[in-house]
Structures are given as structure tokens and as C-alpha cells.
Amino acid sequence: MNVAPASILNKVIQPVFKNKRLYDFTKKMATSENFYSGVALSIIVVKHGIEAAIHAKASYNNKKVPEEQRNFLAIQDAVNYTLAIVLMITLGRFLGTKGKTYITEQNKTVSKLLKKLAPEVAKEVKTGIGVGLTLMGPILSHRIMTPLLSMPVSKVLKERFFPDIDVNNNQKPYINACEAWYSKVKGQKLNYSG
């Protein structure tokens, strides 16, 4: 007897979708005001995590940077991306919850407007405000806070793990090599295959 793969797939998947606990969980999550904010933030964090791995590998395999400085450059990239991800999660969740509460409940103009709307529409507007504020967190953290905090973190990292690399006096031209590499690849699409 020849059984079609679709029927086998249906026998496996149908019980999963008919599971009452899974249905109740997904229904509860989809009706939660913070669900969409969490999904948006999770997608951004996963994207940055993958980008961090690719970028650190490209930095480590960069033949234009001297051999003794590649480890430092790869670790610095990984630390910068890790710092960015932690700040994204923290700031995104903070703005998505506390910022939404402040804007929708304590701001007199917005709270008056929301009271005039139908309850379903007001809930959707609050969810939209929460998602918008959640998405502001990664932008602020990646573009403003991470560049400000990455230099002190990199200095501590260099002093603790790479004391032989002297970036201040340019005895070993780490900064010059990085600036030359960046100016050469700026605006180009990079090939990250090692």
C-alpha cells in the first residue's frame, strides 16, 4: 500500500493543531497587548545575534588586519554586538511596557482620545503604541547607546585580555588597519564566506 506523504503529514500535524492547551496558549498570547511587541523585539534580537556571528567571523578572517590583532578585533565586535543586544532587550521592553503605560494612561491628551474610541479600537491603538515604542528601543540602543558604551568596554577588554596591543601609540597599527579596511569596504556589499 502506497501512502501519500501528505496523509502522513496530516496524521502527525493534526493532533498538534487540535491540542486544546496549545490553542488556549496561542489565543491568550495573540490577545495579549505585549505579544506583538515581544515578537517584534525577538525578531530584531535574533537578527542581530546572527549578524554578530557573521561579523565576528569576517573580522577574524580579515587578512588585511595583522594576525596578532584579529582575535582582539573579533572579540571586540562580539562584545559590541552583545552589548547592543542586551541594551535592545532592556530598552525595548522598558519602552514597550512603561512607556506605553505612561503615554496611554498618564498623558491627558492621549487618554482623552482613547476614551472616545470604542474599547476594541482603543486596545489596538494601545498595542500599536507599545509596538512602536518597543521598536524605538533597538534603534536608540544600537545607534546611540552602544557607540557611547562600546569604547569604555573595549578599553577594559584590551587592558585585561590584550595588553600587548598598543592602540594609543600606534606601535602596532590596529586603528590604522581598521580604518583602512573600513574606508575600503564602506558602501560595498561584503562577502562573509570565510
Q: What is the pLDDT of residue 82?
A: 86
Q: What is the pLDDT of residue 172?
A: 44
- Quote the pTM value: 0.62
Q: What is the pLDDT of residue 178?
A: 58
Max Cα distance, the chain (Å): 78
Q: Domain limits of the chain?
A: 36-185
Exposure of 173 in the CB half-sphere (CA atoms within 13 A): 8
Q: For every one of its 194 residues, what pLDDT tens digit does the chain have, with 9 covering 90 and above?
A: 454 555 665 666 677 677 778 777 777 766 677 778 888 888 888 998 888 888 888 888 888 877 777 777 777 788 888 888 899 989 888 888 888 888 888 888 888 888 888 888 888 888 888 888 888 988 888 888 888 888 788 778 777 776 766 555 444 445 555 556 566 656 665 554 44
DSSP class of 2: P
Q: How far apart are CA 146 and CA 85, in angstroms?
A: 9
Q: How many beta carbons lie within 10 A of that of residue 40, not counting itself? A: 19
Q: What is the pLDDT of residue 173?
A: 46
